């Protein structure tokens, strides 16, 4: 029992997730200190009600988009068009529903959702086509749709805010099955991706393409197909997120739906410890990152931070998290810590353990997956270890 907790503590200490999780907990505690009711959750009309539930519900679109973004970034790419795709999905779904013969029927909602997601699939194919086949730099290739996409959404809605009254459609973003349906969808997608990429070799292949697409191709991987697929997946995630956003308020706002959400998603991925240089990703990290971002927003609202300084406050928290995660800072903390806990391990050992990246980063699906360790890590670790022992 005590041995198990000891290893858990060691693993947490070494994990990249440590500081993001600490930041998340600190934010929640700060809120609870300011407003004691913050952590309380009660039943209201048959569903959970409370600030924590709001964080989950409103964070779901960001989480879903960040999930798609994680895989794109793992292949050394980036997708800037997700916000625009989300806007298009909402616009198409709402106009389809309003234009159908019975706008309040579930059938109309299903048609609207189907049409919207099919279109997102096509948009994903377009992004993937530009990046994988034409070899355009991802940031430029997806910038095309980022700029043009909102125009397309405006064209679809005729520049108006389209209001729908459809109870079935409303469920996606505002409905509850005890928990908010939106977060259930996002978590289901997260688990599915974790299973598919971590229980099979797919995750390793994606990382391998991210490290070196050409070498991967020569080693017999279909680099192009993998890259193409992750862009399609990202667009579909963005589409579902767009449906959530518009369903939450029962309206499609082509101008503002999903505005700047691509930046939030990228930030969530980075806070979660995935490398923007590709070749390494952490799904559990993305989950924590997305939750931090939404908690931050909710904190601003409930603590009454003045709108003029909101962005500064957010920036400070994000800078703090990123600094704490930086390898140099981590090494510093890791060196100091063992002095406080002399009982656990001889200090040299604890150092090297902390300096290594924890395998748990890499597999959300396998919390105990110590056995399989991606190539990138094995290469990285000795280097960091050396630095620590030198200093």
Partner 1 sequence: MLKKILPVAVSAVAVAALAACGSSSGAAAGASGAGAGGGDKIVMGFAQVGAESGWRTANTKNVQESAKTAGIELKFSDAQQKQENQIKAIRSYIQQKVDVIAFSPVVETGWDTVLLEAKRANIPVILTDRAVDSEDKTLYKTFLGSDFVAEGKKAGEWLVKDSEGKSEVNVVELQGTTGAAPAIDRKEGFADAIKAAPQIKVIASQTGDFTRSGGKQVMEAFLKSNPKIDVVYAHNDDMGLGAIEAIEAAGKVPGKDIKIITVDAVHDGMQALADGKINYIVECSPLLGDQLMDLAKKVVAGESVPERVVTEETTFTQEQAKTALPSRKY
Site residues (CB under 8 A) for partner 1? 35, 37-38, 44-45, 49-51, 54, 58, 154, 159-161, 163, 174, 245, 248-251, 253, 255-257, 297-298, 300-304, 307-308, 310
**Closer residue to partner 1 in complex, CB, 39/195:** 39
Nearest distance from residue 239's CB to partner 1, in Å?
Answer: 17
Question: Would you tell me how many other CB atoms lie within 10 Å of the CB of residue 279?
Answer: 21
The CB-of-145 to partner 1 minimum distance in angstroms stands at: 19
Nearest CB to partner 1, comparing residues 96 and 247: 247
Question: What is the spatial distance between Cα 141 and Cα 128, in angstroms, rounded to a whole number?
Answer: 9
Residue pair 62/218 in contact by the 8 Å Cβ criterion:
no
Helices assigned H by DSSP within 179-282: 181-198, 202-211, 213-218, 223-249, 261-271
C-alpha triplet 315, 29, 294: angle, nearest 5°? 45
Pairing of strands 47-49, 42-44: antiparallel
- The answer to whether 67 and 243 have CB atoms below 8 angstroms apart is no
Judged by beta carbon, residue 46 or residue 346, the one nearer partner 1 is 46
Locus of tokens 């990382």: 207
User: In this complex, which beta carbon is closest to partner 1, that of residue 35 or of residue 344?
Assistant: 35
CB 116 within 8 A of CB 240: no
What is the smallest separation between the CB atom of 378 and partner 1, expressed in angstroms? 43
Which is nearer to partner 1, 15 or 295 (by Cβ)? 295
Nearest distance, CB of residue 208 and partner 1, angstroms: 39
Beta strands in the chain (DSSP E): 42-44, 47-49, 162-163, 176-177, 179-180, 251-252
- Rank residues 65 and 74 by Cβ distance to partner 1 and give the closer one: 65
- Judged by DSSP in three states, 252 sits in strand
> Nearer to partner 1 by C-beta: 125 or 259?
259
Nearest to 291 by CA among 174, 170, 190: 190
Phi, psi of 44 (to 5 degrees): -135, 115
Q: For partner 1, which is the closer residue by CB, 8 or 301?
A: 301
Q: How far is the CB of 66 from partner 1 (least distance, A)?
A: 18
Indicate the residue among 49 and 333 with the shorter CB distance to partner 1.
49
CB of 161 to partner 1, least distance (A): 7
User: Minimal distance in Å, beta carbon 294 to partner 1?
Assistant: 9
Strand partners, 48: 43
CB of 370 to partner 1, least distance (A): 40
Which residues in 371-391 are b (16+ Cβ under 10 Å) and which e?
eeebebbeebeeebbeebeee
Q: CB of residue 29 vs partner 1: minimum separation in angstroms?
A: 15
CA gap 192, 175 in Å, rounded: 22
């Amino acid at each position: 029992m005590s041995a198990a907790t000891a290893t858990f503590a060691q693993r947490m200490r070494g994990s990249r997730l440590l500081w993001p999780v600490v930041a998340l907990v600190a934010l929640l505690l700060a809120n609870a200190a300011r407003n004691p009711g913050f952590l309380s959750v009660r039943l209201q009309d048959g569903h959970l009600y409370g600030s924590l539930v709001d964080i989950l519900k409103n964070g779901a679109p960001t989480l879903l988009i960040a999930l798609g973004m994680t895989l794109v970034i793992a292949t050394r790419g980036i997708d800037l068009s997700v916000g625009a795709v989300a806007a298009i999905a909402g616009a198409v779904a709402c106009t389809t529903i309003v234009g159908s013969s019975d706008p309040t029927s579930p059938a109309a909602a299903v048609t609207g959702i189907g049409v919207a997601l099919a279109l997102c699939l096509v948009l994903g194919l377009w992004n993937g086509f530009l990046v994988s086949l034409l070899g355009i730099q991802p940031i430029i290739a997806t910038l095309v749709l980022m700029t043009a996409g909102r125009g397309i959404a405006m064209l679809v809605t005729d520049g108006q805010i389209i209001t729908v009254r459809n109870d079935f459609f409303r469920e996606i973003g505002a409905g509850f099955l005890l928990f908010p349906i939106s977060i259930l969808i996002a978590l289901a997608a997260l688990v599915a991706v974790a299973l598919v990429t971590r229980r099979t070799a797919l995750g390793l292949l994606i990382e391998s393409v991210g490290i070196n697409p050409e070498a991967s191709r020569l080693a017999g991987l279909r680099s192009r197909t993998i890259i193409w697929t992750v862009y399609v997946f990202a667009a579909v995630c963005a589409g579902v997120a767009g449906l959530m956003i518009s369903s939450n308020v029962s309206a499609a706002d082509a101008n503002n739906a999903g505005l700047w959400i691509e930046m939030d998603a990228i930030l969530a991925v980075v806070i979660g410890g995935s490398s923007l240089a590709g070749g390494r990703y952490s799904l559990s990290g993305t989950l924590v990152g997305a939750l931090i971002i939404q908690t931050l927003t909710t904190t601003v609202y409930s603590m009454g931070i003045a709108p003029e300084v909101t962005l500064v406050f957010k920036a400070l928290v994000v800078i703090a998290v990123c600094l704490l995660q930086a390898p140099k800072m981590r090494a510093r903390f890791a060196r100091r810590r063992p002095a406080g806990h002399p009982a656990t391990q001889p200090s040299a050992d604890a150092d090297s353990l902390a300096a290594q990246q924890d395998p748990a980063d890499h597999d959300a699906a396998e919390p105990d997956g110590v056995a399989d360790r991606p190539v990138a890590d094995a290469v990285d670790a000795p280097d960091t270890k050396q630095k620590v022992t030198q200093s």
